[in-house]
Chains A and B, each alone.
Chain A
Amino acid sequence: AQSVTQLDSQVPVFEEAPVELRCNYSSSVSVYLFWYVQYPNQGLQLLLKYLSGSTLVESINGFEAEFNKSQTSFHLRKPSVHISDTAEYFCAVSAGSARQLTFGSGTQLTVLP
């Protein structure tokens, strides 16, 4: 069975500061990894994904995540956050032949002025 742990439920950070949202997963087989973002009262939107190839993946709005197989991690980083990045962020993994998408419990990122 696969599982996802997001270590921080809330991350407050000042505008223009760097941020890291942590995600660890467990799976005994190869995985696909995702970060989704959810703005208030909306559905989830894909931020970035790792399927194969380069372990560093980037999104169009400055976020990046690195797949670390030895540490079973897929942490999300941004060097300088904006007020508009305030949202809840979910890490997700799919693995095995059934390929069910399993989500972490979410991290609320709040960017302070």
Chain B
Amino acid sequence: NAGVTQTPKFQVLKTGQSMTLQCAQDMNHNSMYWYRQDPGMGLRLIYYSASEGTTDKGEVPNGYNVSRLNKREFSLRLESAAPSQTSVYFCASSEEPGGRGFFGQGTRLTVV
């Protein structure tokens, strides 16, 4: 089973460039999440989607947008990348909101 798949695994962007991080899950989960992980700060929630057709802001949404394309896919877009967005990004899904999360392998993003 693939579980949660994130692409790409690594990315380097120049300041001001845009990109979309892709996430897909094959577990028929209702809820999906995007987190960023920075040293000493744990994982901080960027956006989440409790169910297909809904999205909500998390703790650190500024500079990001999301799309819940269908039940399987939840993408994260950086419209104009900034060095402060250098981080490791994790997508996760859960059967119910706040339930056990299944995580992807992460995307390491560097903005120069």
B53: interface (CB < 8 Å): no
Question: In the bound complex, do residue B97 and residue A103 qualify as a contact, i.e. CB atoms below 8 Å apart?
Answer: no
Checking B35, B50, B90, B92 against A98 with a beta-carbon cut-off of 8 angstroms, the contacting residue is: B50
B105: interface (CB < 8 Å): yes
A94: interface (CB < 8 Å): yes
Checking A49, A102, A104 against B100 with a beta-carbon cut-off of 8 angstroms, the contacting residue is: A49
Of B31, B33, B35, B99, the most chain A CB neighbours within 10 A belong to B99
- Chain B residues within 8 Å of A95, by CB: 98
**A interface, over-half SS:** strand
- Chain B residues within 8 Å of A105, by CB: 40-42
CB distance from B58 to the nearest CB of A (A): 7
Question: In the bound complex, do residue B45 and residue A90 qualify as a contact, i.e. CB atoms below 8 Å apart?
Answer: no
Interface residues of A in 13-52 (CB under 8 A from B): 32, 34, 36, 41-46, 49
Interface residues of A in 47-75 (CB under 8 A from B): 49
Interface size, chain A (Cβ < 8 Å): 26
B12: interface (CB < 8 Å): no
CB distance from B35 to the nearest CB of A (A): 8
Residues on B close to A: CB < 8 A?
4, 31, 33, 35, 40-45, 48, 50, 56, 58-59, 90, 92, 94, 96-106
Q: Could you show 8 A-B contacts with beta carbons less than 8 Å apart?
A: A32-B99, A36-B101, A44-B43, A46-B100, A98-B98, A100-B98, A101-B33, A101-B98
5 additional contacts (CB under 8 A) given A36-B103, A100-B48, A101-B98 = A9-B40, A94-B97, A99-B50, A99-B98, A101-B45
Closest 9 CB pairs of A and B: A99-B98, A94-B98, A99-B97, A43-B103, A105-B42, A103-B42, A103-B43, A44-B103, A43-B105
